[in-house]
Amino acid sequence: MHCEGREGMKELQYDVLVIGAGAAGLAAALEVSRNNASCALVERESHLGGILIQCIHNGFGLEEYKEELTGPEFAERQVQAVRAADVDIFTDTTVTQLNAENDRKEAYCYSAVYGVLRISVRAVILAMGCRERNRGNIRTPGTRPAGVYTAGLAQRLVNIEGYIPGQDVVIVGSGDIGLIMARRMTWVGAKVHAVIEIQPYPSGLTRNIVQCLNDFDIPLYLSHVVSRIEGKQRVEKVQVSPLTNGIPDEENSFEIPCDTLLLSVGLIPENELSKEAGMEINPQTNGALVDATMMTSIDGVFSCGNVLHVHDLADWVAEEARRAGAYAVRYLRNERPKRQIRIKAGANVRYINPAMFDPDNPDKLYFRSLIVKNQAKLQIKLDHKPVKEVRLSHVQPSEMLHVKLKPKDVAGWNIMKDSVLEVSIE
């Protein structure tokens, strides 16, 4: 519902506002609608689906839809479901301010289509996704010629705009987007000379290493860095140095002639709006700290998907977002956990989401390993006492892990008010 406000500002009221219409926002909005709560879905781009639209490769939907889809196909199924639901959609609309300290939250939005909007709601779900790190983030020395792109931008240029950014390519970072673009650039006729990875292990999924590099004989240099970019008007070559004790070994450096450098050096949750609203941020993920209901440190504001922590599969994004949508509706109904205990990242675990655990409603925990290991053991401890063990065939930092806790797992636990659940990998 809406009415004209002062000075032409349109004032709208809903139960829930979802910000962002990628895999997370679409899934969250659909879950809210299914639970008979009114929902506004705001997206700054002109289309729904987020980054999925430019991901024309397959590998999506195996968990969500039990079949293999491309990114656009995955998005299309979500979009069709949302359009058929009772969700008001606002594309080409940007949220510039979120006032969330009161019972009714207010979001100020600007749109060339709808004008200025003030949306008043009882709950907000953040689903803004993430952005790529760029050359400035990794501080690569050298000149500043044309031909340096983030891998995601190059993906958009090739798949959406129909523009090939270069012919002789070097890729920095073995993240999944970079690996997929190594294959994509090869398919469009470019020569990918190498992928350079600073870590001693790949950053992307194993299947992408095999399908995107090994199948095309593209070299992967582990424990190497691009130590210098050279070129005047356009990139002409890069200097690559092996790392010795974490320091570039200049004596054993070598040069690779190229006209294009693609950066696949990590993703950062898009949380500027969250920070301005005053919510607490997890330094390990750059996403919000959330409790067992996916609620942030601000009452009534929830977070999910890549804005919470960077996922490796859109299927897990959608699953987590449905959970946030369901909890947002429970919040509207004043259904809150009776108790929550803190979850701690133990040995060889980088982080865990959510950061709190509801023993009366156990759910899935998402986390990442700090090590690469075959035949690892996941151990969950309550107040330093082992309560659950899970065998893992392989762990590595690039692959998100998860464990589903069930009521039978929790039965018999001696849970105190100040108890702590610890997750570790051995």
For every residue of 120-157, DSSP letters joined together read EESEEEE---EEE--HHHHT--B---B-EEEHHHHHHI
The count of other CB atoms within 10 Å of the CB of residue 51 is 21
pLDDT band at 93 (very low <50, low <70, confident <90, very high): very high
pTM for the full predicted model: 0.93
Tokens matching residue 9: 């500002």
Count how many Cα atoms sit within 13 Å of the Cα of residue 384 in the half-sphere of its side chain: 0
Question: Is pLDDT of 327 > 70?
Answer: yes
List the one residue out of 194, 171, 18 whose CA is nearest residue 93.
Answer: 18
Q: Which of 3-7, 31-35, 41-45, 171-175 has the lowest mean pLDDT?
A: 3-7
pLDDT tens-digit series, residues 374-416: 999 999 999 999 999 999 999 988 889 999 998 998 988 999 9
C-alpha separations of 168 from 147, 198, 240 in Å: 10, 21, 15
Residues with Cβ within 8 Å of 206's Cβ and at least 6 positions away in sequence, in order, are: 394, 396, 399
Residue 117 backbone dihedrals phi, psi, to 5 degrees? -120, 140
Measured distance CA(265)–CA(150) in Å, rounded: 8
pLDDT mean over 73-92: 96
Average pLDDT, the chain: 94
Q: Which runs of consecutive H residues, i.e. helices, occur in 249-395?
A: 272-277, 314-332
Q: What average pLDDT does this structure show over 199-220?
A: 92
Helix (H, G, I), strand (E, B) or coil at 394: strand
Q: What is the pLDDT of residues 17-56, one digit of tens each?
A: 999 999 999 999 999 999 999 999 999 999 999 999 999 9
Mention every residue, 6+ apart, whose C-beta is less than 8 A from residue 191: 167, 168, 169
3.40.50.1360, 1.10.287.610, 3.50.50.60, 3.40.50.300: CATH of 2-131+268-336: 3.50.50.60
Residue 5 pLDDT > 70, yes or no? Answer: no
Contact present, 40 and 17 (Cβ < 8 Å): yes
Cα distances (angstroms) measured from residue 174 to each of 33, 219, 279, 309: 39, 11, 32, 19
What is the pLDDT at residue 7?
Answer: 55
With both helix axes pointing from N to C terminus, report the angle between 71-84 and 23-34 in degrees, rounded to the nearest 10.
Answer: 30
**CB proximity list for 196: less than 8 A, separation 6 or greater:** 170, 171, 172, 173, 221, 224, 225, 226, 240
- pLDDT of residue 304 exceeding 60, the answer is yes
CB-based contacts of 136, cutoff 8 Å, min separation 6: none
- Report the pLDDT averaged over residues 169-181: 94
Tell me the backbone φ, ψ of residue 343, rounded to 5 degrees.
-110, 135
Rounded Cα gap, residues 107 and 94, in angstroms: 10
The verdict on domain 134-265 having CATH code 3.50.50.60 is: yes
Residue with token string 């939250």:
105
> Would you say 51 and 72 are in contact if contact means Cβ atoms under 8 Å apart?
no
